[in-house]
Amino acid sequence: MASSAELDFNLQALLEQLSQDELSKFKSLITTISLGKELQTIPQTEVDKANGKQLVEIFTSHSCSYWAGMAAIQVFEKMNQTHLSGRADEHCVMPPP
């Protein structure tokens, strides 16, 4: 299973590759992802104010790292950032039941 620390590092690095406009789009899409039920409970103002590192901290505090990673992959795909979704997917491992 990918640890929170691994997800923090990998997702943060991917988010840092986005422009400000792309990061804003990511923020607006992340809480709409069906996998992100827990992410939907995060106040949008908290998400809007966060930078990449803070977003990862917010996501992992509201959801397990696997589901946060899967939600991020779906957002990258919706944004046509397939190179980022592919890299994130390499590090997302299903947790044991």
Count the domains in the chain.
Answer: 1
User: Which pair of tokens denotes residue 76?
Assistant: 């990258």
With respect to residue 70, please indicate whether it lies within any of the assigned structural domains. yes
Q: For 28-83, what is each residue's pLDDT tens digit?
A: 888 787 655 666 677 888 888 999 889 888 887 877 777 778 888 899 999 999 88
What is the C-alpha separation between 22 and 20, in angstroms, rounded? 5
DSSP string, 65-95: HHHHHHHHHHHHHHTT-HHHHHHHHHH--PP
What is the C-alpha separation between 61 and 76, in angstroms, rounded? 20
What CATH number has the domain bearing residue 60?
A: 1.10.533.10
Question: Is the pTM above the cut of 0.85?
Answer: no
Owning domain of residue 62: 17-91
